[in-house]
Amino acid sequence: MSNKVFMKGCEAIAEAAVRAGCRFYAGYPITPQNEIPEYMARRQPQVGGVFVQGESEIASINMVYGAGAGGTRSMTSSSSVGISLKSEGISYCAGAKVPMVYVNMQRGGPGVGTIQAAQQDYFQATKASGNGGFKMIVLAPSTVQEAVDMTYQAFDLAERDRSPVLILGDGVIGTIMEPVVLPEMKSDEEVAAMKAANREWAIVGHSRDEKRGFLDPGYWSTDMQEAHCIELDAMYRSWEENDVQVEELSLDDAELVFVAYGTSARIARSAIELLRADGLKVGMIRPKTLSPFPVKSFDKINYQLCKCILDIEMSIPAQMLFDVRLAVKERCAVDTCLRSGGNLIERDDIIRKAREILNGGAE
């Protein structure tokens, strides 16, 4: 096993992408993800890759669209309002079946908002990343190690499905420093082989006799468009069966179940330890994939014991709450513990809410 190194989240994500074979990055500065393009500007030339700081977020995503269409493992990143500007290009990648990976280190909102960590882009990530109703696999790390592992995996998933994949973090995940074990570096030969394997569909120069997949997402007949959407829908349904990633903690005897992801889940976990030490039976469902959402995990809850599901997120109004309610199916009460606008949720807030639900607020 490789030795651990101490890295900041954004830089660790960038290094994981390089090690996964990413050889094209285009982006534009915005806090709190600036360390990703800064790192890529130094690192890509070292591995024979290309770094471009586009003149805008719109230019950057379309450069990634072009590089990805050529079969190169490609990536971009931004934060919240910057991702909004990239949404048209992301939709084009989904429509043209161009694999790419992108990172959103969320900031507060709506609008320009604050540069501090928030979780206010859940709807954008899971419901409306662009026009046309397409879906993506959305990975939500809660540690720097998970951010590394998920980034490395994301390129394989994107290439497998020929679809965009999103790493959804926030300012805490992006700027915190933690020890990580980095994955193995793909060799030049492996990177070349991966690109060569995409030749069947990639725009790399073909003779008239070669068959190539259709990459232009426009000017389709209605029948062609519908057939394409039906094909995508089948892929999305397969994700629900095969690609859900989730952590389930102490569900068997839980009288209260937290649902949290990312940074909120880190804080919720520490609250569970203290509450359990006081004899309060609390569990947690932590989605690692927000899309597909871990609906089946909610069937493992003992609703004869469970008094309430507590949705914990750094978003007001709550956003993940809608998926939680759909998964619970009215089998018990659902409540919320929320902060917003760049304010971190505090462990004491969670503990106070849990006590209120379980024993009427007794300290």
pLDDT (tens digit per residue) in 39-63? 999 999 999 999 999 999 999 999 9
User: Which CATH number describes the domain made up of 246-359?
Assistant: 3.40.50.920
Per-residue model confidence (pLDDT) at position 215: 58
> Which residues on neighbouring strands pair with residue 309, listed in sequence order?
257, 334
48-199-94 Cα angle (round to 5): 90
For the segment 182-237, what is each residue's pLDDT rounded down to a tens digit?
999 999 999 999 999 998 889 887 666 665 555 565 567 888 888 889 999 999 99
249-292 pLDDT per residue, tens: 999 999 999 999 999 999 999 999 999 999 999 999 999 999 99
**Phi/psi of residue 49, nearest 5 degrees:** -95, -175
Task: Answer for the pair 232, 134: CB distance below 8 angstroms, yes or no.
Answer: yes
Reported as type and span, the H/E element at residue 71 is: none
Are the C-beta atoms of residues 30 and 78 closer than 8 Å to each other? yes
Instruction: Delimit the domains of the chain by residue range.
Output: 4-242, 246-359
**Tens digits of per-residue pLDDT, 137-159?**
999 999 999 999 999 999 999 99
Specify the CATH number for 4-242; select among 3.90.230.10, 3.40.50.970, 3.90.1300.10, 3.65.10.10: 3.40.50.970
pLDDT-derived band at 362 (thresholds 50, 70, 90) equals: very low
Please tell me the pTM assigned to this model: 0.95
Note if the bond before 110 is cis, omega within 30 degrees: yes
Instruction: Give the containing element (helix H, strand E) for 193.
Output: helix 188-197
